[in-house]
Amino acid sequence: QSVLTQPPSASGTPGQRVTISCSGSSSNIGSNSVNWYQQLPGTAPKLLIYSNNERPSGVPDRFSGSKSGTSASLAISGLQSEDEADYYCAAWDDSLNGWVFGGGTKLTVL
Amino acid sequence: QLQLQESGPGLVKPSETLSLTCTVSGGSISSSSYYWGWIRQPPGKGLEWIGSIFYSGSTYYNPSLKSRVTISVDTSKNQFSLKLSSMTAADTAVYYCARHGRGDPDAFDIWGQGTMVTVSP
């Protein structure tokens, strides 16, 4: 059972906007930045969003992140078939003194 | 650009110690801005942070694995390594090495391709 809670699955049709939630606690999301990773099938995770809402160079602005209290969200607008992947949230946990990840959300583009 | 590459055995026997190395190329491991970490992913499951090391040798580990984990760094070879003792089937996973920031931002921004480790007699 993961420290951060994500829905196991999400889906949408091309062009739609989908959001993926990530719920934590005061010791992780509540006091530290949230990062999001995209893992395409058979590949290593890739940094998608850092510091709650910042995009690394090369990540399309269709991807955005937000944080409020002890929860965070990843939004994908203008959904494309190539967005079909697993998405993970992560944050530092002050109580565990280590990194914690969500269980991952499998996004299906219908 | 900076690249990370894991190396080590793909098969380990139960009770043995896993040894993996991550080689950093295209940049120096001796940067004051980054930590170097290990993350694993069991087949069909999510990501689990194992531990991280600074070039000075300072380490911190996942409390759930701490008793079995040792991470070390060799700055002369631009490498860092993972040792995980008393391996069981539950340790079967893809093992990734990755770089993460020291301070803000602190994300794992560069990852190796991963190496599959199977624990089997």
Q: Mean of the pLDDT values across residues A101-107? A: 98
Q: Å from B112 to nearest chain A CA?
A: 7
Residue B114 has what pLDDT? 98
Chain A residues in contact with B47 (beta carbon < 8 A) = 37, 45, 88, 90, 101, 104
Over pLDDT 70: what percentage of chain B?
100
- Using one digit for the tens of pLDDT, what is the confidence trace for B54-65? 999 999 999 999
* Helix (H/G/I), strand (E/B), else coil: B68: helix
Query: With a CB-CB cutoff of 8 Å, which residues 27-56 of chain A face chain B?
Result: 33, 35, 37, 43-47, 50-51, 54, 56
Q: Mean of the pLDDT values across residues A63-85? A: 98
Mean pLDDT of chain A: 97
What residues have CB less than 8 Å from A44, skipping those under 6 apart?
B96, B111, B112, B113, B114
Chain A residues in contact with B104 (beta carbon < 8 A) = 33, 51
Q: Residue A1 pLDDT > 90, yes or no?
A: no
How far is CA A28 from each of CA A42, A72, A102, B48, B115, rounded to the nearest angstrom? 29, 11, 11, 15, 29
Task: With cut-offs at 50, 70 and 90, classify the pLDDT of residue A33.
Answer: very high
Q: Residue B103 pLDDT > 90, yes or no?
A: no
Residue B105 has what pLDDT? 80
Q: Mean of the pLDDT values across residues A34-59? A: 97
Q: Which of B5, B34, B49 to mutate against chain A (most A CBs within 10 Å)?
A: B49
Q: How many CA atoms lie less than 13 Å away from A35 in the CB half-sphere?
A: 22
Mean pLDDT of chain B: 97
Task: With cut-offs at 50, 70 and 90, classify the pLDDT of residue B104.
Answer: confident
- Using one digit for the tens of pLDDT, what is the confidence trace for B80-101? 999 999 999 999 999 999 999 9
Q: Mean of the pLDDT values across residues A1-11? A: 96
Q: Is B1 on the interface with A (CB under 8 A)?
A: no
